[in-house]
Amino acid sequence: MNNGISITNHRNGETYEFNIINSTRGPNAVDIRDFFKKTGMFTFDPGYTSTASCKSEITFIDGGKGELRYRGIPIEELAGKHTYLEVCYLLLNSKLPSPDELLDFDIELRHRSFLHRGLHKLFDAFPDNAHPMATLSAATTALASFYKEHINLTSSDDFNKMAHRIISKIPTIAAFSYRHSLGIPFIEPNIELSFTENFLFMMRAYPGGKMHIDRQGERSIKEIEIKALDTIFTLHADHEQNASTTVVRNVASTGAHPYVAISSGIAALWGRAHGGANESVISQLEMIGSVNNVEKYIKKAKDPNDPFRLMGFGHRVYKNFDPRAKILKKLQDELKSELNLNTELLEIASKIEDIALNDEYFISRNLYPNIDFYTGIILTALQIPKSMFTPIFVIGRTVGWITQWVEFKREEKSKISRPRQLYIGK
């Protein structure tokens, strides 16, 4: 076959033919949708290491080259050069916005950022020390009860209204979840502030919307902090068919409410092997405790008989340097200079990074620092508590999840997700 492959079953001598679907970038795919019908067998692929679960036009990754693109645009051309809201618009609309389009988009998100008063009461049901991720996931599910009309969407206008609503409200829910975990009053959104500054405002402001002023008379939210967090949001915006995105698509396939699908993605992201890894990075740096202990832990990481593993190194997809990590490395250096950072934690991280980038053990195994390694350090530099690292990941990723949800819903031949199994029991 010129555009297909043949598979022979050597037990019975039968040959089966399957078409190849061409991609625009990256590997092509063998179309095995009728594999079971033709052969009476299943394919076996734990962890989906070689399985394309869908067609998508949103994000492309080449792990070997260390390449990441949103809608065909390299991440290096977006992060730090376009705002997070511009990137949101790009993902949702397949193009960067004009100044007027961006202004309309920005204004709409600002006005949709407020929560229904009924949702406020939900927070009272959680203990004061609840992890913000638990509260965030539950409150996002609860949104489905306030916006029941989003269960049956048909037009592009319906999709956009739903997407804009969830993108705008997630930062508010995240900030409220954080403040509830501390037992302090909520701060309502300020429509005079940009998306990213408003989130920092809702986290940091005193009751009445007052902000801390330092001895030099400067406000507590600096432009470099806004730029840094905005860049982190952009780098987290989408990442192809990762675990949480796959969960969102799988839940979408059941016909569930879109906000329930997003909540499911939040729950999946919380795992320490996924979005929770950046929190684990800082916990590990704190455990190491001193620059003097780094060599000891590097030795433990290289010992095959020691269960200790360095957090924040290596990636399931990238077999080269994570392109997002390169951007964050540069950002970390800017923060260190502009915010006059020179903490023990940064010194520990810098020494680990220096050793890993020059040690053949790590290089030969493609164990480069990944996005989680730098994200945890940068968020710590921004005085963001560990409990909020993963909620910040959620804020950035919400646009990717909802874009993936919409893409799935627009697929004419979409089916409910139903993997098969290789039964080995009695």
What residues are annotated to the active site? Answer: 315, 372
Q: Residue 212 in contact with residue 205, Cβ under 8 Å?
A: no
| Measured distance CA(157)–CA(141) in Å, rounded | 22
| Measured distance CA(43)–CA(420) in Å, rounded | 9
Residue 276 is given by DSSP the state T
- Residues with Cβ within 8 Å of residue 87, at least 6 apart in sequence: 70, 78, 233, 234, 237, 399
| Measured distance CA(349)–CA(347) in Å, rounded | 5
- If you search the block for the tokens 């202004």, which residue do you land on? 103
| Measured distance CA(204)–CA(187) in Å, rounded | 9
**Mutual orientation of helices 195-204 and 84-93 as an angle, nearest 10°?**
120
Number of residues in the chain: 426
Q: Residue 175 in contact with residue 185, Cβ under 8 Å?
A: no
Kindly tell me the burial class for residue 158, based on how many C-beta atoms sit within 10 Å of its own C-beta (0-12, 13-18, 19 or more): middle
Q: Which 3-state string (H, E, C) describes 321-371?
A: CCHHHHHHHHHHHHHHHHCCCCCHHHHHHHHHHHHHHHCHHHHHCCCCECH
Q: Residue 238 in contact with residue 91, Cβ under 8 Å?
A: yes
| Measured distance CA(222)–CA(227) in Å, rounded | 9
Q: Give residue 370's Cα distance to chain centre.
A: 13
- Residues with Cβ within 8 Å of residue 145, at least 6 apart in sequence: none
